[in-house]
């Protein structure tokens, strides 16, 4: 009986402990529910006090804060062309939060070109060729070789505040073509050398493996093409008469698609001079060994005046009255009579 009583006491203590534990758990659940209800009411009160416009801005900023850096875009241009570099992380359409920075090819320094939507005025002429286009894109007019580099669009809500969102970088590369043969020397049987190069952020003639340059036309017994690199090629050709005013095209392709091309026209200067002087003839003055070069227009004028003078002379002779014969005298009449 004693053993049974002890077991009964232990069982009652165990049941009481379970009831106490369950009571404590229910109490914690009630406390948790009360805290959650108070937090929910406080959040509703705060949200009710926040203007909807500010809430929209807050959502936008939070979205930017979670953004990551965008993929680098590659843009290609020719010298003298215009190009627009897109900004893919715009916050305000009026560009008041937009900053454009520039890294020169081969340099680690950074130059700020646009500050909160305003073109930065400096001592260089490049500022005159920059402007902000639609959607805060950076427009570069009259592109030059020194414009090659990395352009990055960034967003700052305030001048002194931290940067918001990721960067939008753009690589600008420029395709150039040049002739080592002076254009004034171009004529048949002259060797012409043309160099086509892509100027990139990483250096002269360096580009990604997926890009390459080629010449059109690229075939012919008198044409030779050499590759210093995939984006720096040279064409050497012995000019023929048919090459006058011929267009030589250098094309940049990537993954089988044409990215950009540039042309050079071989114009023969000596043929232009012959065409210009084709109205001139050589006239030699008799008795001399010196040739006098007279314009054909002068000769035609001289011939025309001579013909007109001849016509006037003939016409004048036809309308002039004949001269009267002298009258016969009696002396002469008698002389003839006596002779008979």
Q: Which fold has domain 180-271?
A: Immunoglobulin-like (2.60.40)
Determine if the pTM surpasses 0.85: no
Give the integer Cα–Cα distance in Å for 102 and 125. Answer: 15
Q: How many CB atoms lie within 10 A of CB 154?
A: 20
**Tokens at 23, concatenated:** 């009571």
φ, ψ for residue 72, nearest 5 deg = -75, 125
Question: DSSP alpha helices (H): ranges in the chain?
Answer: 2-49, 52-65, 269-276, 296-319, 330-339
| C-alpha radius of gyration, the chain, whole number | 48
The residues near 116 (Cβ < 8 Å, ≥ 6 apart) are 95, 96, 97, 98, 99, 156, 159
Q: Please choose, from the candidates 157, 189, 151, 193, the residue with its C-alpha nearest in 3D space to the C-alpha of residue 169.
A: 151
SS3 262: strand
pLDDT of residue 28: 77
φ, ψ for residue 282, nearest 5 deg = -105, 125
pLDDT of residue 49: 55
pLDDT of residue 65: 40
pLDDT of residue 120: 83
Query: What counts of helices (H) and strands (E) characterise the chain?
Result: 5, 18
φ, ψ for residue 51, nearest 5 deg = -60, 150
* Domain 69-174 = CATH 2.102.10.10: no
Per-residue pLDDT tens listing for the chain (340 residues): 545 566 666 666 677 777 777 787 788 777 777 766 776 666 666 555 545 444 344 334 433 443 444 688 999 999 999 999 999 988 888 999 999 999 986 677 778 888 888 888 776 778 889 999 888 999 999 999 999 999 999 999 887 788 888 899 999 999 999 998 898 999 999 999 999 999 998 888 888 778 999 998 665 557 888 888 889 999 999 999 999 999 999 999 998 899 999 999 999 986 544 444 444 444 444 444 444 445 566 666 666 777 777 776 776 666 555 555 455 444 444 343 333 3
């Amino acid at each position: 009986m004693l053993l049974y009583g002890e077991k009964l006491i232990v069982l009652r203590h165990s049941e009481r402990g379970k009831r106490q534990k369950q009571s404590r758990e229910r109490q914690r659940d009630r406390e948790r529910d009360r805290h959650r209800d108070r937090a929910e009411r406080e959040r509703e009160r705060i949200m009710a006090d926040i203007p909807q416009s500010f809430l929209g801005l807050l959502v936008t900023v939070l979205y930017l804060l979670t953004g990551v850096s965008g993929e680098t875009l590659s843009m290609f241009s020719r010298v003298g062309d215009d190009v627009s570099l897109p900004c893919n992380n715009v916050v305000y359409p009026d560009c008041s939060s937009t900053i454009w920075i520039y890294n020169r090819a081969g340099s680690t320094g950074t130059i700020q070109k646009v500050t909160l939507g305003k073109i930065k005025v400096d001592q260089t002429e490049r500022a005159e060729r920059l402007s902000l286009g639609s959607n805060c894109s950076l427009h570069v007019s009259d592109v030059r070789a020194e414009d090659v580099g990395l352009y990055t669009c960034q967003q700052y809500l305030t001048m002194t505040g931290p940067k918001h969102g990721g960067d939008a970088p753009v690589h600008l590369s420029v395709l150039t073509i040049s002739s080592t043969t002076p254009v004034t020397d171009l004529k048949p049987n002259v060797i012409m050398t043309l160099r086509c190069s892509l100027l990139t952020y990483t250096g002269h003639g360096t580009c990604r493996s997926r890009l390459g340059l080629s010449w059109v036309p690229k075939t012919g017994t008198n044409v030779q093409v050499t590759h210093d690199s995939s984006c720096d090629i040279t064409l050497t050709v012995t000019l023929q008469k048919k090459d006058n005013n011929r267009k030589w095209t250098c094309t940049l392709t990537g993954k089988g698609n044409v990215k950009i091309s540039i042309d050079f026209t071989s114009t023969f200067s000596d043929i232009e001079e012959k065409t210009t002087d084709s109205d001139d003839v050589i006239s030699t003055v008799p008795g001399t060994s010196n040739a006098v070069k007279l314009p054909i227009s002068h000769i035609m004028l001289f011939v025309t005046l001579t013909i007109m003078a001849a016509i006037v002379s003939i016409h004048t002779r036809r309308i002039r009255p004949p001269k009267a014969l002298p009258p016969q005298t009696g002396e002469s009449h008698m002389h003839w009579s006596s002779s008979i």
